[in-house]
Amino acid sequence: MLPRVVTILTLLATVARAVDPCATIAGQKWTSPQDVRTCFASFKVDPEIKANIVDVVNKTLAFHTSVNYEILAPPPFSADVHENLLADLARISQQEYPSDFDLHIDMSQTLKRLNDGHCVYINDCYDSLFLTFLPLPLVLLTDPDESQSVHIAPEAFAVASVEFADELDVWQNALPGALKGQLETAEIRYSQQYQLSGAEVLAINGQDPFVAVDANAQTAGSFQPFGTRQNGFFASYNRVDAGWSYIMGQFAQLSLPLNDSATLTVLRVNHTMPETFTLPYRSRIGTTAVPWTDSTTFRQNNCVAVNGTNGVNLNNPSNPLRKRDSMLRPVEKFRQSPPAAASFSRKQARSVMLDSTPLQDVSLPPALTPAGNVPGSSGVTEFFLLKDGRTGVLALGSFEDTGTIDDFEQTLLTGLVNLKNMGATQLIVDVSNNGGGFICVAHIVGPKPTSVPQAGLNTTARAGPLAQQIVKQILGNPSIDPGVNLLYNPLNWFFPENNTQFPADFDWLDPDVPKVINGRQDAFSLTYVPVPSFRDGPV
């Protein structure tokens, strides 16, 4: 009997090794979404970790306005935003999931339904560890009669052939029949007359394209307006420090490997017969993924907390984690604006979006890059004068840049003055895909009698239980915040009534100002304004 048992054990061991689902995709730059999913879905839910996730999210939510407001968002968003997060967390606590990945998808989509770019749930074990692409970004094009229809972006091949040069053949060969190899046509490759590029999209997966657009908008997150979330499906652009970058859109680029293929019915340019084809999505490893060889090392290297996960002690000058390094501080990867130098920006009030897809550096094709910027343009800030000679354009890709806030404000002033001197009397501010930054820079108010001594930055804070405790800790022991860096330090705020600083011992969250939001008891601070150092420049 003994030899037989040994044989069976050997066989089991061999099988287990052969099917390690994360070994299959180890070291691969490109793989199928199905294989990525098989690795991701191979981990069972650990009840202790699940309970901890729900508990931490639940406690953290007390800082977020969204929780109570988005149960039924105030007008004009009432029809678009209605997520009862606490009810969903209770549901998730009870629900069984086939895998940890399924739990993640539910958590992620639930939080995204808040449609609040400041309140997001990201797990860098899964979100954008791989990005999943189709080489066919879509756009809405407007006909001369002003009707709009969905098209494969005319620049699709120009973008894909540069960004996906090493994977293009897989897609070319996946196209059926006469379309095979026709993402573009070789002979006219450089004249921008591409076979599929520019084609009108009549159906996605057999349905009107807007069925897919609207389904995506339900879980796209980040923005309250439905129209803004619809736009996210389509290709776009963003001004970044190094130039212009192309944004693939949420049809052509997925942060989770949830789709294997898309079936499109298209009408090619100058063709009269619609054609239907199915093209596979392909998953590309993210730049910050730490290599692994099997399931165990996949998990160890990419899925556990690291030193920077839970924040950084800014009061320890020798702490290497003070650096904005995405390897050390994983959250940095998901910022939607380039970080200003930490030493200059720490004291500025800022609001930056986080998203489960990090900023990408896909290049905008040269033919689409705007030329002839106005002197003074710099970094994320570009100025143009339209042909009418009186319309200025300020393309502002971010509300912060790599330098100081003073440099940034000076750039804005210089460019605007130059535009005015060139004859501009009106201004278009293009904030396409601007992910946020310094709040003060976003207040382009212009001089008014009311902007002195402060420009209308009156605000209130949430006075949740943890926030109240933090204020009491600071008042009890001010030495825990030697640099006066904490948002909860009273010394960072002024009374708006007389523009004087809060006293150091002022418990500004107690008593709180109670409010009832969507039937729930909530609590806020009194109205206050930032101290000048917080809004005007480095200290």
Ligand X SMILES: *[C@@H]1O[C@H](CO)[C@@H](O)[C@H](O)[C@H]1NC(C)=O
Residues at the contact surface with ligand X, assessed by CB under 6 A: 54, 58, 89-90, 93, 193, 204-205, 212, 215, 251, 258-259, 262, 269-270, 307, 450, 456, 458, 495-498, 500, 527
Task: Pick between residue 157 and residue 344 the one whose CB is nearest to ligand X.
Answer: 157
- Rounded to whole angstroms, the maximal C-alpha distance in the chain is 96
Question: CA 317 → CA 129, 322, 473, 482, distances in Å?
Answer: 32, 8, 22, 12
In the complex, least distance from residue 23 CB atom to ligand X, rounded to whole angstroms: 25
In the complex, least distance from residue 176 CB atom to ligand X, rounded to whole angstroms: 18
Task: Pick between residue 271 and residue 390 the one whose CB is nearest to ligand X.
Answer: 271
DSSP 74: P
> For 192, left (φ over 0), alpha (ψ -120 to 50), or beta?
left
Please state the separation of Cα 42 from the chain's center in Å.
Answer: 27
Amino acid 442 reads A
Task: Pick between residue 243 and residue 456 the one whose CB is nearest to ligand X.
Answer: 456
| Length of the chain, in residues | 539
In the complex, least distance from residue 236 CB atom to ligand X, rounded to whole angstroms: 17
Residues 394 and 380 sit within 8 Å (Cβ to Cβ): no
In the complex, least distance from residue 58 CB atom to ligand X, rounded to whole angstroms: 4
How many Å from the N-terminal Cα to the C-terminal Cα in the chain? Answer: 80
> For 474, left (φ over 0), alpha (ψ -120 to 50), or beta?
alpha
Residues 238 and 433 sit within 8 Å (Cβ to Cβ): yes
In 143-249, which ranges are E strands? 148-152, 200-204, 236-240, 243-247
And the tokens for 279? 């093209």
Close Cβ partners of 500 (under 8 Å, ≥ 6 residues apart): 494
In the complex, least distance from residue 269 CB atom to ligand X, rounded to whole angstroms: 4
Task: Pick between residue 351 and residue 363 the one whose CB is nearest to ligand X.
Answer: 351
Residues 4 and 12 sit within 8 Å (Cβ to Cβ): no
Close Cβ partners of 273 (under 8 Å, ≥ 6 residues apart): 267
In the complex, least distance from residue 384 CB atom to ligand X, rounded to whole angstroms: 29
Task: Pick between residue 485 and residue 527 the one whose CB is nearest to ligand X.
Answer: 527
Task: Pick between residue 498 and residue 521 the one whose CB is nearest to ligand X.
Answer: 498
In the complex, least distance from residue 76 CB atom to ligand X, rounded to whole angstroms: 21
HSE-up of residue 240 (Cα within 13 Å, Cβ side): 18
Task: Pick between residue 194 and residue 408 the one whose CB is nearest to ligand X.
Answer: 194
Task: Pick between residue 365 and residue 392 the one whose CB is nearest to ligand X.
Answer: 365
In the complex, least distance from residue 527 CB atom to ligand X, rounded to whole angstroms: 6
